């Protein structure tokens, strides 16, 4: 076993301290009794109570969740198709443009994406609301899904698909019965990525939402723009908690499925 040199140990410790201390502080102060967020005045969970009585936040949370589920699901289908096209379709007219449109949204400043989509919706006369946010979120998150899925497709052994075709599957059956189960972990992580991107997005949602469809990030942003608020600390703690459970759960599941696959493969070789 390799041992960690002191230099690496120090840089890892400092690096992770930098990443985690701000969030720890945020969580700690969400249990602060006082209104001031920088002075500790005793343990209390009252801000959580306030939060759950705040209808505006609950409404916004519901809108956000709806948008995230819809946009990430559509984005997963479109993104998987796009990845399949990128990796398997070979040459076709307009391929360069297609790959450009897949990569550009990954790094496009959100203000530009938001502005351009808003101008599109206005020029075709589509009222801003849940639908427009879903369309906007689907468009940028499908590119992330496509990158995640295509990195799995690249390492995929194509002869498995060919075998399925030789055994009489149609192209779609081969995809459904052979390709899809193998790339499934990537498709699931693509969905999760799209889901979080949508939950998280402030800028694009601000441009594309209407008055009746305020999302949680928009709400949080307007609350914290002027200062720190203990209610937002409580909300942040809940969100961080959910994500932590989700990420740890997902990594345990994937570890188990990898272990199972390795065991299956070993038994198949025997």
Partner 1 sequence: MKRFGLISVPYLWLLALFLVPFLIVLKISLSDTALSIPPYTPTLDLSQGWAGIREWWAGLDMENFTWLTEDDLYWKAYLSSLKIAIISTVLTLMVGYPIAYGMSRAPDEWRPTLMMLIILPFWTSFLIRVYSWKAILSNEGLLNQLLMNLGIIQEPLIILNTNLAVYIGIVYTYLPFMVLPIYSALERLDESLLEAAEDLGCSRFTAFWLVTFPLSRQGIVAGSFLVFIPAMGEFVIPALLGGSKTLMIGKVLWEEFFSNRDWPVASAVAVVLLLLLIIPIVLFQRNEEKQREAEK
Q: Is 156 in the site for partner 1 (CB under 8 A)?
A: no
Query: What is the closest distance, in whole angstroms, from the C-beta atom of residue 251 to partner 1 in the complex?
Result: 6
Write each residue from 17 to 46 as x if it is in contact with partner 1 (CB under 8 A), else as -, in one continuous string.
Answer: -xxx-xx-xx--x-------xx--------
Cα(189)–Cα(93) distance, integer angstroms: 30
Asked if residue 207 lies in contact with residue 115, where contact means CB atoms within 8 angstroms, the answer is: yes
Nearer to partner 1, 101 or 184 (CB): 101
* Best CA proximity match to 113, nearest among 88, 144, 81: 144
Q: Is 262 in the site for partner 1 (CB under 8 A)?
A: no
Which residues, numbered 197-256, are part of the site for partner 1 (CB under 8 A)?
199-200, 202-203, 206-207, 217, 220-221, 224-225, 227-228, 232, 236, 239-240, 243-244, 246-248, 251, 255
SS3 267: helix
Asked if residue 72 lies in contact with residue 191, where contact means CB atoms within 8 angstroms, the answer is: yes
Q: Is 169 in the site for partner 1 (CB under 8 A)?
A: no
Which residues, numbered 122-151, are part of the site for partner 1 (CB under 8 A)?
122-123, 135-136, 138-139, 142, 146, 151
Nearer to partner 1, 59 or 200 (CB): 200
Cα(139)–Cα(238) distance, integer angstroms: 28
Structure tokens at 49: 């109570």
Distances (CA, A) of 34 to 37, 97, 149: 7, 56, 47
* Best CA proximity match to 208, nearest among 83, 98, 111: 111
Nearer to partner 1, 225 or 270 (CB): 225
Nearer to partner 1, 45 or 254 (CB): 254
């Amino acid at each position: 076993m390799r041992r960690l040199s002191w230099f690496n140990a120090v840089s890892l410790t400092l690096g992770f301290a930098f990443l985690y201390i701000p969030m720890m502080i945020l969580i700690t102060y969400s249990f602060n009794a006082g209104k001031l967020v920088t002075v500790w005045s005793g343990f209390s969970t009252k801000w959580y109570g306030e939060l759950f009585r705040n209808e505006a936040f609950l409404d916004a949370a519901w809108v956000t969740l709806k948008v995230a589920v819809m946009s990430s699901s559509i984005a997963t289908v479109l993104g998987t198709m796009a990845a399949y096209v990128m990796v398997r379709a070979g040459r076709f007219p307009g391929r360069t443009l297609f790959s450009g449109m897949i990569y550009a949204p990954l790094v496009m400043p959100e203000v530009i994406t938001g502005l351009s989509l808003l101008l599109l919706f206005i020029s075709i006369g589509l009222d801003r609301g849940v639908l427009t946010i879903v369309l906007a979120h689907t468009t940028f998150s499908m590119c992330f899904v496509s990158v995640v899925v295509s990195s799995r497709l690249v390492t995929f052994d194509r002869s498995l698909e060919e075998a399925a075709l030789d055994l009489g599957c149609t192209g779609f059956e081969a995809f459904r019965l052979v390709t899809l189960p193998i790339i499934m972990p990537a498709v699931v992580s693509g969905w999760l990525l799209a889901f979080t991107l949508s939950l998280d997005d402030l800028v694009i949602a601000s441009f594309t939402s209407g008055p009746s469809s305020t999302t949680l990030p928009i709400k949080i942003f307007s609350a914290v723009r002027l200062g720190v608020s203990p209610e937002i600390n409580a909300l942040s703690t809940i969100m961080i908690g959910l994500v932590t459970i989700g990420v740890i759960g997902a990594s345990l599941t994937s570890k188990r499925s990898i272990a199972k696959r390795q065991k299956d493969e070993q038994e198949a070789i025997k």
